[in-house]
Amino acid sequence: MAKQFDDHNAHDYEGFSPATRALHIDRALEPGTGVAPAIMQSVTYFSEDGADFANKATEPLKDIFYARHGNPTASRAAMIVADMEGKETGIMFASGMAAITTTLLSLLRMGDHVVAQKSHYIGTTTLMNETLERYGVGVTLVEQDDPDAFEQAIQANTRVFMLETPVNPTMKLTDLKAVSAIAAKSGITTVCDNTFATPFNQRPGDLGVDIIVHSATKYMGGHHDLLGGVAVGSKKHIDAVWDMGMTLGGVCAPFNAWLVLRGLRTMKMRVDQSNRNGLAIAQMLEQNEKIEHVYYPGLESHPQYALARQQMKGYGGLLTFELKGGFDAGQRFIKALKIPFYAASLGGVDSLVIQPAALWLGRLSPELVSKQGVSPGLIRFSAGIEETEDLLKDIRQALEVA
Ligand SMILES: *Cc1c(COP(=O)(O)O)cnc(C)c1O
């Protein structure tokens, strides 16, 4: 962490809620008296003497040496995310995938084995299906809604459980407490992608998960204007991630880290409104006769609703649903919508909508697409922070057209 520039600003925020702490716990790191965070754009930093230089060059998470080792603006953002997740420390990356790949490579070597889920974010799926195997790391993919499947997949060389919940597009959940307990018994490190839920809806660390990763591109940034990632955990784990990150180089640029800092300050309000919109849309769609099925962990009809209530405080802005009438009805529906943009990504202020079959049929085989739970009429909707009634009205009129 950067040295404290302003002791006058250093207060004890113990006992305040995470949303309030996100606005204030980094105040002592501000160089000067600015209320808004400064951007430390410098790539290199001067030293007092040779010993100081050597120390900064080699000490993990020293962010005032050379910018590939980290930078103070990124440290501030990482510190807030670690606090939100209840973890000791964290490190920012250039993207969510940089956070995920760097974290996993810090934990794995040739001959090791990973247990991961059959469904993950597409980049993580590729990492598990193709990339890791090329470097001699074995991977077993299991059904995430069955904790026993994780246990049965353990081998003598299993080092990591890769988790993600809820997962797109099936909106299946992983029982984080049960699976973490299984991992802990065998000395296996758990990594959880918490991008969809955010720490305001779900805190994997409280349920036993070791390292939590995020695409900060989504709810943390929240405005569809930055790419970023973050990993948080114990100092021991994050030091190892830092070492690997210095070599791989996927570091977060200061300006992007500054945008994340800005996003984190309004994140609670945005997540709350996305939760409200996601739930209202899911409940409304479930009653509509043009809808075959709605996938959303906040619905009582979700097969893991009891687990959702246990491990989540809110259910997020992302939902998927099956339109009667298949692919063409889906295209008509999306065209008729006035509010959401037809665009990839999620977790920002603007609602976004896609039809995954359209996206994935181009790049992947129809077999793989259906294996991921994507049917032609499936729609993925990321609820933004628009007024709930406006979104409901817009969706209703588009369903009439579809
Ligand atoms: C977007 C996303 C990622 C990848 O993040 P990038 O910032 O695009 O690299 C990883 N996991 C989940 C769940 C995501 O939604």
- Residue nearest (by alpha carbon) to ligand 1 atom 12: 121
pLDDT in tens, 305-343: 999 999 999 999 999 999 999 989 999 999 999 999 999
Taking the centre of ligand 1 as the mean of its atom positions, its distance from the CA of residue 231, in whole angstroms, is: 12
Query: In Å, how far are 12, 73, 161, 173, 192 from 147, measured between CA atoms?
Result: 40, 39, 11, 11, 15
CATH number for the domain formed by residue range(s) 5-264: 3.40.640.10
Q: Which secondary structure element, helix H or strand E, spans residue 352, and what is its range? A: strand 352-354
> pTM (2 decimals)?
0.95
Q: Is 129 helix (H, G, I), strand (E, B) or coil?
A: helix
| Domain extents in the chain | 5-264, 268-401
Measured torsion, CA atoms of residues 101, 106, 111, 113, in degrees rounded to the nearest 10:
-60
State the distance from the centre of ligand 1 to the C-alpha of 79, rounded, in angstroms. Answer: 20
Q: Which atom of ligand 1 is nearest to the CA of 164?
A: 13
Identify the pLDDT of residue 123. 96
**Token pair for 148:** 């026993």
Check residue 2 and give its pLDDT.
Answer: 42
pLDDT score at 30: 85
Q: Distance between CA atoms of 52 and 167, rounded to whole angstroms?
A: 46
**Token code pair at residue 113:** 């084995």
Task: For residue 150, give the amino acid letter.
Answer: F
Superfamily classification of domain 268-401: Aspartate Aminotransferase, domain 1 (3.90.1150.10)
Q: How many angstroms separate the first and last alpha carbons of the chain?
A: 54
Q: Whose CA is nearest to atom 11 of ligand 1?
A: 121
Best residue for ligand 1 mutational test, from 101, 174, 201, 218 (most atoms within 8 Å of Cβ): 218
Evaluate: CB of 95 within 6 angstroms of ligand 1: yes
Pick the residue whose CA is nearest to atom 6 on ligand 1: 96
Q: Supply 67's token pair.
A: 């910018």
Q: What angle do CA 37, 39, 236 make, to 5 degrees?
A: 85
Contact at 8 Å (CB) between 389 and 354?
A: no
**Ligand 1 pocket check for 229: Cβ under 6 Å:** yes
Task: Write down the residue that tokens 């809110």 correspond to.
Answer: 314
Structure tokens belonging to residue 50: 């040779």
Q: What's the number of CA atoms in the CB half-sphere (13 Å) around residue 346?
A: 26
96 lines ligand 1 (CB under 6 A): yes
Ligand 1: which atom is nearest the Cα of residue 227? 7
Which atom from ligand 1 is nearest to the alpha carbon of 347? 15
User: How do the pLDDT tens digits run along the chain, 402 residues long?
Assistant: 444 445 666 788 999 999 999 999 998 888 888 899 999 999 999 999 999 999 999 899 889 999 999 999 999 999 999 999 999 999 999 999 999 999 999 999 999 999 999 999 999 999 999 999 999 999 999 999 999 999 999 999 999 999 999 999 999 999 999 999 999 999 999 999 999 999 999 999 999 999 999 999 999 999 999 999 999 999 999 999 999 999 999 999 999 999 999 999 999 999 999 999 999 999 999 999 999 999 999 999 999 999 999 999 999 999 999 999 998 999 999 999 999 999 999 999 999 999 988 866 666 666 766 776 778 899 999 999 999 999 999 999 999 998
Does the beta carbon of 214 sit less than 6 angstroms from any atom of ligand 1?
A: no
Q: What pLDDT is attached to residue 3?
A: 46
For residue 120 and ligand 1, the question of a CB distance below 6 A is answered with no
Q: Which ligand 1 atom is at minimum distance from the Cα of 167?
A: 13
**Best residue among 97, 172, 248 to mutate for probing ligand 1, ranked by most atoms within 8 Å of CB:** 97
The mean predicted confidence, pLDDT, of the chain is 94
Question: What is the CA(103)–ligand 1 centre distance, in A?
Answer: 14
CA of 316 to the centre of ligand 1 (A): 15
CA distance 119 to 101: 17
Q: Kind and range of the H or E element at 354?
A: strand 352-354
Asked whether 250 lines ligand 1 (CB < 6 A), one says no
